[in-house]
Amino acid sequence: MTSAVLERPLAGLTAESAPETPVLEVRGLSTRFKTHAGPLVAVNDVSFSIARGRVMAILGESGSGKSALLRTILGIQPTSATITGQALMNGVDLVTMSPKAREQTRGSWLSMIFQDPMTALDPLFTVEQQIVETLRRHTDITPAAASQRALELLQLVQIPSPERRLKAYPFELSGGMRQRIVIAMALACSPRLLLADEPTTALDVTVQARVLDLLRDLSRTLGMSIVIVTHDLSVAAAIADDVAVMYAGRIVEQGPIREVIRDPQHPYTRGLLGANVRPGQRERLAAIVGSPPNLARLPPGCAFAPRCEVAIERCATAMPDLLPVSANHAARCFLAQGVGAMSN
């Protein structure tokens, strides 16, 4: 069910945003941190765009820069971080906004679902108090209307007995229920873009499937775009239209998820696919050898070269560009110069 309140145009964004216009366009986005070991590049020259109603998965191992990318887009990196590039919504660059203006975009222009719903909720306040506070902060809605909208949001995310759950504290709810509450809070001000950082990691398989189905349905019903971060290929396959595979802070492959899974062009993507459990599988998983590199001491060439079984001499000294391998599919690999170049 979709309430009329949730269907209102988002304040600050015009109704002129056509489906073909990117809701978010990221151009050359980089995030650097100062460390004792030198500059650490957590996000390295990342570019992508996402259209209205589409779901993009950011896939990769821990430490690949996925969560850092979302936090950079949302604008919650520490002030010590150096951020370059652009993150455009409706022609406005989020990166160059003032801190106060940037704060106003959170919850209204874009929202985020954090990895652990228990730490994302305040244990001292009821569910209703936390949702109402979000609504009152970003809109001029009355307290009574905010309470009614909080109830509508719980109904939207399919919380059973929503009237009773509104009065509950986070510790009184199950993990799956808390995750739905966090989703409801993220949707409170009808954002055009939802960022989801490993939203199903702490959930069992059954609840995970329900949450993914819910997010997919909300995207279709509300016309909302979603960028979801995950290390689990099955999660990406279940919800995403498109995928961007990240390694050492860079996108190494991106394209429609079905095409990338069917014909992966980067050795790292192939490694992730080989390490994924398949139904009825009896043979041992083919793990990727080695460990991700230290982001403060990246090699001069391809960061994946030390772990790559098909690396050539050039990989150790030169960084490959993100090259097209088909109309909508690109890979950052010297061996992926043409369609199907790595298929043999």
pLDDT in tens, 64-109: 999 999 999 999 999 889 999 999 998 899 999 999 999 889 888 9
Position of tokens 């429609």?
256
Q: What was the pLDDT predicted at 280?
A: 67
Judge whether 107 and 137 are in contact, CB under 8 Å: yes
**What are 35's strand-pairing partners?**
38
Range of lowest pLDDT (7-11, 106-110, 170-174, 311-315)? 7-11
Position of tokens 């192939």?
270
Are 303 and 254 part of one and the same domain? no
Are 202 and 149 part of one and the same domain? yes
* Residue 293, domain member (yes or no): no
CA distance 230 to 59: 5
pLDDT band at residue 336 under the 50/70/90 scheme? confident
Pick the more confident residue, 60 or 339.
Answer: 60
For the chain, how many structural domains are there in total? Answer: 2
Please count the other Cβ atoms lying within 10 Å of the Cβ belonging to residue 148. Answer: 15
CA distance 164 to 179: 17
Final residue before a domain boundary, out of 239, 262, 285: 262
Are 206 and 313 part of one and the same domain? no
* Residue 292, domain member (yes or no): no
- Nearest one of 71, 84, 97 to 39, comparing CA atoms: 84
* Per-residue pLDDT tens digits for 201-255: 767 888 888 888 889 988 988 889 999 999 888 889 999 999 999 999 999 999 9
CA distance 4 to 145: 13
Judge whether 199 and 113 are in contact, CB under 8 Å: yes
User: pTM for the complete prediction?
Assistant: 0.86
Judge whether 316 and 304 are in contact, CB under 8 Å: no
Final residue before a domain boundary, out of 211, 238, 262: 262
Mean pLDDT of all residues belonging to the chain: 87
Please, what is the end-to-end C-alpha distance for the chain in angstroms?
48
Judge whether 250 and 44 are in contact, CB under 8 Å: yes
Judge whether 159 and 188 are in contact, CB under 8 Å: no
Are 325 and 225 part of one and the same domain? no
Are 172 and 273 part of one and the same domain? no
Judge whether 189 and 134 are in contact, CB under 8 Å: yes
CA distance 110 to 189: 9
Domain that holds residue 121: 5-10+22-262
* Residue 188, domain member (yes or no): yes
Position of tokens 């906004």?
97
Q: What was the pLDDT predicted at 20?
A: 65
Are 251 and 268 part of one and the same domain? no
Are 40 and 105 part of one and the same domain? yes
- Nearest one of 13, 32, 116 to 72, comparing CA atoms: 32
Judge whether 86 and 28 are in contact, CB under 8 Å: yes
CA distance 112 to 203: 18
Q: What are phi and psi of 274, to 5 degrees?
A: -70, -25
* Residue 37, domain member (yes or no): yes
Are 224 and 321 part of one and the same domain? no
CA distance 132 to 149: 8
**311 three-state secondary structure:** coil
Domain containing residue 88: CATH number: 3.40.50.300
CA distance 309 to 51: 36
**Sign of the alpha-carbon dihedral angle for 64, 65, 70, 76:** positive
Are 303 and 327 part of one and the same domain? yes
**Separation of CA 274 from chain center:** 23
* Residue 289, domain member (yes or no): no
Are 152 and 207 part of one and the same domain? yes
Are 142 and 64 part of one and the same domain? yes
Position of tokens 């809701």?
23
Residue 30 has pLDDT above 70, yes or no: yes
DSSP 224: -
Q: What was the pLDDT predicted at 196?
A: 94
Range of lowest pLDDT (123-137, 215-229, 242-256, 282-296)? 282-296
- Nearest one of 248, 237, 254, 259 to 303, comparing CA atoms: 248
Are 230 and 320 part of one and the same domain? no
